[in-house]
Structure 1
Amino acid sequence: MQRQFTIPENIETAIANALADYKLTLNDSKELSKRVLALSDFFINEPDGQTPWHESWAQIAYLCYYLPLNAARLRAVILEGEKRGFFADLEEVLDFGAGLATASLSLSETQNLKYTLIERATEPQRLIEKYFPFFKSEEWIRTINASKIKNPKKILALFSYSLTELAELPDWAYQCEALMIAEPSTQQDGRKLMQLRAKLLEKGFHVWAPCTHEGLCPQLTQSKTDWCHDRIHFAAPKWFLSMEEQLPMKNRTLTTSYLLMRKTKPSPIHAARVVGDTLKEKGKDRQMICRGPDREFLAWMHKFKIQQEIPRGALITVPEDLQKVSNELRVQKELSVF
């Protein structure tokens, strides 16, 4: 069963209140879709450009489209972290390139931490303070450097769709106890994140999620095209579906590439992670899994009359007695999913 995430009620209410100031409602699907298309075209034509926060059409598009989608993605990432105890003993968040603070908004739903938002543009701060009063940040700052890191063992450095604009992590981030990085699930950004994982391991960080091991990443070392990403189901409300009908982009499922890493070592997880969608082939179905440095696939042979489609990103127990043929593990009975 696919994991389902929707727009939190408090965020949906805040979006509706904000749109009222633009003389719009959540039901003005055609007008909202025009703004979304304009911002989408901007991102396509100027992939390295700064979000035009000063433009009202960009504010509307971000509020009604990108904020809900990113909030759903980030809630999925945060849930995985919570399952593994990733946020334990942390006290402060440094949200770099915060934008509309979607990551901090999503994290604050369940984690009572101090939030410092690092953002050069001033308009996002006005929008957050006016329309999201339930979210309280310690401060907004334009830049940060290593000298401002006072208690690194209690700090989470948060990068949500901001690392894609940088050549590498800023130096101050390596001082922090924990790193949460969520990036676009494109081949380029996904493989860049896999390369960063290797660098962070060399610097003494440990992987808490999504990986269940700290060996070489097989999608990076044994493939030139694969990249790591999870898939979740987006349970969109009616107003979002109506707006989406006017758009060429459909979002029944969402993908995300992410890393949760800390200097503290996690408890071991004896499981494999499903890292591929189901591949329908002659005589069998296959799904790629990851549990170490080898590139492996589960294989359901049609002759055994077993069909099982496991959600991408799910953790499973792999029986030790599975027959292995080349890089395939032949499944003869339904597997347990965590």
Structure 2
Amino acid sequence: MNLFAALPEKERLIAERFDSLIQDIKPLNSKQLAFLPRDIQRLSALLTAERSSLKAGYMNNAVMLSAYTRYFMRWNLFRLTSLFAGMDTTAFDFLKDGDYCLDIGSGPLTVPIALYLARPELRGKKLNWYCMDTSQNALALGENFFLSCAARLQTEEGEPAWRIVRVKGEMGTRIKNKVSFVSCANMFNELYWDTHNPLEKEAKKYAALLLSYTVPQKAVFVVEPGIPRAARFVSLLRSALIRSGMSILAPCPHEGACPMEGKKGGKWCHFILDTESAPKNLQALSEKAGLPKDRAALSFVFASSSPAHQSSSKPAGGKTAGKSAQGASRQHIRICSDPIVLPHGKTGRYACAHWGLTLVTGHRIKDTLSGDLLYADLSAQDIQALPVDRKSGAKIVNV
């Protein structure tokens, strides 16, 4: 089972028609459309190389907001809908009618919209979404886009079951009700990027802040760009959540120490999504902006207070690695890298397992993808006896 999956046909068509939907809500004239690739390129520079020049309320600026929604929001929707669609069918069963959810740094409501598109079973549940951001303009645009999507997916007349409550503020802003689900997408990198505090301290602080919003039975979802520093933060946040009594639903196949924690010079946990299935008009806009994408990367953690929900990180009809042995038990292995060229014309992929960093090799490796969950029937003695890669120190599992 892979972490990612495609949207159903009806939802995919909505994603592909994003341009026309957003144009109906927030139209740009011909001159503004002509300058859009330039504006996207400028915002990209501000979000990366020129980060110190980026103002905190940049999405209150109409030009910046247009560039963000038509490029960055669309790519984030592609990543998140693919991720949410690929999660186990029971992954969101903890959400009940009347529950409250909180999306922090919501911008134009990317997470709620992605969840609405990717998880049809949630659309009929009466969920109350607090969408928190410093930009009221972004929140208003996102709510209108959400309502537009919901109207196209309604099977019966009437208002959508989800209620959006816009909250102007940053993380730490008070809300009226405790929530069952709290999410953050691409938000923390804007908070910890220039901090002088150790990243461990930041992760501990933010984990406590996230949990301060929640009821005893809750889930937390945090996703960040798939780059080393972001992966390091996500790994540290994962550890802080585990110490707070949370269980990991995905992507981890275990709750031991993270073997791909993003330390300097080491491996970092991230997953690559092929962009061939992304909307063609989005790919064309990316080319015009000089920011083409042939792959989309992310690092994330999805945690729950209930161990019963861990089924979302277990394989369903997954691929088997290794051979059955006496006393063996099923061991889960998550693929976390691109193919790696090995000596003697061989290929491998780095992966994560409860025993630590793993190098998966063998003739079937060509059929695996980033994010695949494999399983191997191995006993404790088998694991102890696995050969070790000299370069990385990873245990080698042959498939």
- Asked whether the two chains share a fold, i.e. TM above 0.5, the reply is yes
Residue 282 of structure 1 is matched in structure 2 by 343
| Residues 205 and 216 of structure 1: CA distance in aligned 2, closer, same or farther (over 3 Å) | same
- Could you tell me how far 1:205 is from its partner in structure 2? 0.6
Residue 72 of structure 1 is matched in structure 2 by 78
Aligned letter for 1:282? P
Aligned letter for 1:58? M
Which consecutive residues of structure 2, in runs of 5 or more, have no partner in the other structure?
Answer: 151-161, 192-201, 315-330, 389-393
Q: Deviations over 1:161-220 (max 9, x none)?
A: 112233342645214211010111111011111011111111101100000100111113
- Could you tell me how far 1:156 is from its partner in structure 2? 0.3
Is 1:32 equivalent to 2:36 in the alignment?
yes
- Could you tell me how far 1:226 is from its partner in structure 2? 1.5
Is 1:195 equivalent to 2:232 in the alignment?
no
CA distance in 1 between counterparts of 2:263 and 2:208 reads: 30
Aligned letter for 1:34? R
Is 1:162 equivalent to 2:163 in the alignment?
no
- Which is further off, 316-325 or 275-284? 316-325
| Residues 43 and 223 of structure 1: CA distance in aligned 2, closer, same or farther (over 3 Å) | closer
Instruction: Map 1:154-233 to 2 at 5 A.
Output: 155-166=180-191, 167=202, 168-169=205-206, 171-175=208-212, 176=214, 177-220=218-261, 224-233=265-274
| Residues 132 and 73 of structure 1: CA distance in aligned 2, closer, same or farther (over 3 Å) | same
SS in 2 for 1:53: helix
Aligned letter for 1:169? Y
CA distance in 2 between counterparts of 1:245 and 1:164 reads: 25
Instruction: Select the residue among 285, 294, 309 that pairs with 1:243.
Output: 285
CA distance in 1 between counterparts of 2:370 and 2:360 reads: 13
Matched-pair contact (CA < 8 Å) for 1:95–1:115? yes
Percent of aligned pairs sharing the same letter: 17
Which consecutive residues of structure 1, in runs of 5 or more, have no partner in the other structure?
Answer: none
- Could you tell me how far 1:293 is from its partner in structure 2? 3.9
TM norm structure 2: 0.72
Is 1:104 equivalent to 2:103 in the alignment?
no
Aligned letter for 2:299? S
- Could you tell me how far 1:59 is from its partner in structure 2? 2.2
Matched-pair contact (CA < 8 Å) for 2:71–2:286? no
Aligned letter for 2:129? Y
Q: Deviations over 1:60-93 (max 9, x none)?
A: 2122211111001111332344x16221122321
CA distance in 2 between counterparts of 1:179 and 1:218 reads: 21
| Residues 13 and 280 of structure 1: CA distance in aligned 2, closer, same or farther (over 3 Å) | same
Matched residue count = 323
Two-structure CA RMSD over aligned residues (Å): 3.1
CA distance in 1 between counterparts of 2:59 and 2:172 reads: 25
Is 1:325 equivalent to 2:350 in the alignment?
no
Instruction: Select the residue among 141, 145, 149 that pairs with 1:127.
Output: 141
Residue 299 of structure 2 is matched in structure 1 by 257
Residue 321 of structure 2 is matched in structure 1 by none
Aligned letter for 2:206? L
- Could you tell me how far 1:114 is from its partner in structure 2? 2.2
CA distance in 2 between counterparts of 1:280 and 1:149 reads: 54
Residue 311 of structure 1 is matched in structure 2 by 369
Higher helix share: 2
CA distance in 2 between counterparts of 1:205 and 1:267 reads: 11
| Residues 51 and 201 of structure 1: CA distance in aligned 2, closer, same or farther (over 3 Å) | same
Residue 13 of structure 2 is matched in structure 1 by 9
- Could you tell me how far 1:33 is from its partner in structure 2? 1.4
